[in-house]
Chain A
Amino acid sequence: MAKGTLYNKIWDSHTVALLPTGQTQLFIGLHLVHEVTSPQAFDMLRERGLKVAYPDRTFATMDHIVPTKSQKRPFTDDQAELMMQAIERNTRDFGVNFFDFASGRQGVVHIIGPELGLTQPGMTIACGDSHTATHGAFGSLAFGIGTSQVRDVLATQCLSMDPMKVRRVEVNGTLKPGVTPKDVALFLINRLGVKGGIGYAYEYAGQVFDDMTMEGRMTVCNMAIEGGARVGYCNPDDTTFAYLKGKEHAPRGAEWDKAVARWRDIASDRGAEYDDVVKFEAAEIEPMVTWGVTPGQSVAVGDTLPDPEAISDKGEKESALLAYRHMKLSPRQKAIDIKIDVAFIGSCTNGRISDLRAAAEVVKGHKVSPGVQAFVVPGSMQVRQAAMSEGLDKVFIAAGFEWREAGCSMCLAMNPDQLKGDQISASSSNRNFIGRQGSTTGRTLLMSPAMVAAAAIAGHVVDIRTFA
């Protein structure tokens, strides 16, 4: 059992009771809700005659299903329109805060929580979405949950949970030029495995994380789940506080000072004990790209694709063979030779302002390669506004990118943004699963937003360090 970690402190302070099953009843400080995993939960409340217990701790938005070309209502997709009406009705009937288009604050749920200052250190956070771990970047415990658990949090503001183990994932030293937080995330999943984190909360630590911006920390924590860890977090520090200061829902005045003192205390103690510690050197990390159908099937961009015959584990070898069949790629081919059809910049992994800046920096003065469809989907209405005030939209449009409205878009393709046939995308999102981007034969290469931008220009995967 870990001791003295941020995980332990938050778990203890939020424990309400021990349940007869042996599980812990954990209080949830902030509940984030989106349109796709909540309608059934609200209906379950209606069936049981229950109310939302703490509507003032419950904040909803819509992101997965919204079209990003035109948000004019009614949506052309009838099912999407019905789903929109459901979240509108549910938030109204149950008195839940709702960030809709009119609020100017709509966006991907994991982008808007932090940017509104709702996500704060020391909290427990739940959302019916596996990428809830993103909020751990602030030093909170953030759990992705299923719809029946959404019902539980709506009805009781609590979850019944078993404690997790804590693994400290240290990355020491400084990142080499061209290596971004997305590369750190992909590298860690590659090394620790897509199932390596099952049963663990990951504490990301070491100089790389101390030096990293909040947006970078969010990118890494976002992808904790792709390594099997339901929870990932960074300890809060001055970088965290500087990000939060002045945010819409963050504490103010005297409350701010009290909050910062509390937040400092919540960080893992120097002598904290962990269930496991793993260490990496920043110098080992190169810009990464996935070639397969799990986020762990990746290589450094300068490398060739691996030989499945060299994989000793039978299951992993089968996975690799399946990946090659689906991706229509060959062992030992160079990653940089892979041609792309679509370039997608966006998602809760890399749809924030710093991501758009990094991509715009690359595309400035270039043109999208003929035959490539390239588009940028800001993570929220506020990110979109910020980018436009800096003129980034103009940079993208001049280069031949489409400039879209905020939403999840082609991260999961529950909206009109979908791959067609066996198109292959360079994507700044988080999952390359078969069918993930809307076509059963579609193919996805995950990489950093700067590398997606460069691939859009070149028409194939490129090493960002040699791109001019």
Chain B
Amino acid sequence: MSKIVVIQGRAVPVVGDDIDTDRIIPARYLKEITFSRMGQYPFYDERFHADGSKKDHPFNRPEYQGASVLLGNVNFGCGSSREHAPQSLVRWGIRAIVAESFAEIFAGNCVMLGTPALVASKEDMAKLQKLAAEKPGTVFSVDLQALEVKADGLTVKVTMPPSRRNALIEGTWDSTALLLANADAVKAKAAILPHPSAKH
């Protein structure tokens, strides 16, 4: 697994509280049995009219094409646990998300994809979003080691749970290998914990 320490790129502001995963990716795209096309769909119904013509949405604006940092607000990614949501953002090009707060399952899903979900204060988020809105070409630097976001002379502090940060910095964010390493201890646990079915 690659080590994820610094992410640099332009930032796209997606303003609003409680942006749920149904809005990030509508349920009809969950019918696909692979994630491969998810990059086409983030915020689909907010970006496109029924006839396919474009609505005004940050993900459609030319100045944010190729952006790699998403700037959100409160309770970003709430609702459904669908990993299709972070998958669609990551496959669109997002490498880090900074917001005022995250829904728990969504933040965990992001880390499983090697994408940090970092929290900044309301005031700092407002500054970051303002900068990205007014100077869309600005390069933002998200530093997991320093727990800072820097852009155009602005530096703000960010936080994330230490274990998730370690996993990204150390390159151990794909947890399957870590969990498999303790297979014997798991076996011992399975032997003493009751089975859910009396039929087994």
Report the separation of the CA atoms of residues A225 and B113 in the bound assembly, to the nearest whole angstrom: 22
Q: With A16-B189, A22-B163 given, is the CB distance from A147 to B75 under 8 Å?
A: no
Q: Is the CB of B161 within 8 A of A162?
A: yes
- Count residues of chain B with CB under 8 A from any CB of chain A: 65
CB proximity to B under 8 Å, residues A387-422: 412-414
CB distance from B197 to the nearest CB of A (A): 4
CB proximity to B under 8 Å, residues A149-194: 149, 151-152, 155-160, 162, 194
CB distance from A165 to the nearest CB of B (A): 11
Please, what's the 1-or-0 string for B14-29, where 1 marks a CB less than 8 Å from any CB in chain A?
0011101011001110
Q: With A30-B196, A146-B81, A251-B198 given, is the CB distance from A21 to B31 under 8 Å?
A: no
Q: Is the CB of A54 within 8 A of B190?
A: yes
A228 at interface, CB cutoff 8 A = yes
Among A14, A36, A228, A248, contact of B103 (Cβ-Cβ < 8 Å): A228
CB proximity to A under 8 Å, residues B177-200: 178-180, 182-183, 185-186, 189-190, 193-200
Please, what's the 1-or-0 string for B70-105, where 1 marks a CB less than 8 Å from any CB in chain A?
000111001111111010000000000000111111
Residues of A within 8 A of B9 (CB): none
Please, what's the 1-or-0 string for B112-124, where 1 marks a CB less than 8 Å from any CB in chain A?
1100000000000
B108 at interface, CB cutoff 8 A = yes
Residues of B within 8 A of A119 (CB): 196
Q: Which of B16, B23, B195 has the most CB of A within 10 A?
A: B195
Residues of B within 8 A of A43 (CB): 34
Which candidate, A100-108, A353-361, A363-371, A427-435, is the interface stretch facing chain B? Answer: A427-435
Q: Is the CB of B179 within 8 A of A440?
A: no
Which candidate, B135-143, B145-153, B165-173, is the interface stretch facing chain A? Answer: B165-173
Q: Is the CB of B16 within 8 A of A160?
A: no
Residues of A within 8 A of B113 (CB): 148
Report the separation of the CA atoms of residues A149 and B112 in the bound assembly, to the nearest whole angstrom: 8
A257 at interface, CB cutoff 8 A = no
Q: With A198-B103, A228-B78, A228-B103 given, is the CB distance from A27 to B112 under 8 Å?
A: no
Q: Is the CB of A195 within 8 A of B194?
A: no
Counting from the closest, the 6 A-B pairs by CB-CB distance are A146-B83, A146-B109, A148-B112, A22-B163, A315-B17, A195-B75
Between-chain CB contacts (< 8 Å), 11 pairs: A21-B167, A37-B30, A82-B33, A149-B108, A155-B176, A156-B183, A195-B103, A198-B103, A225-B79, A228-B104, A434-B23
Give A contacts to B, CB under 8 Å: 13-14, 16-17, 19-23, 25, 27, 29-30, 36-37, 39-40, 43, 48, 50, 53-54, 56-57, 59, 64-65, 77, 79-80, 82-83, 86, 117-120, 122-123, 128-130, 132, 144-149, 151-152, 155-160, 162, 194-195, 198-199, 225-226, 228, 230, 248-252, 255, 259, 262, 294, 315-316, 318-319, 322, 412-414, 431, 433-436, 438, 440
Give B contacts to A, CB under 8 Å: 16-18, 20, 22-23, 26-28, 30-35, 45, 50, 73-75, 78-84, 86, 100-105, 108-109, 112-113, 161-164, 166-167, 170, 172, 175-176, 178-180, 182-183, 185-186, 189-190, 193-200
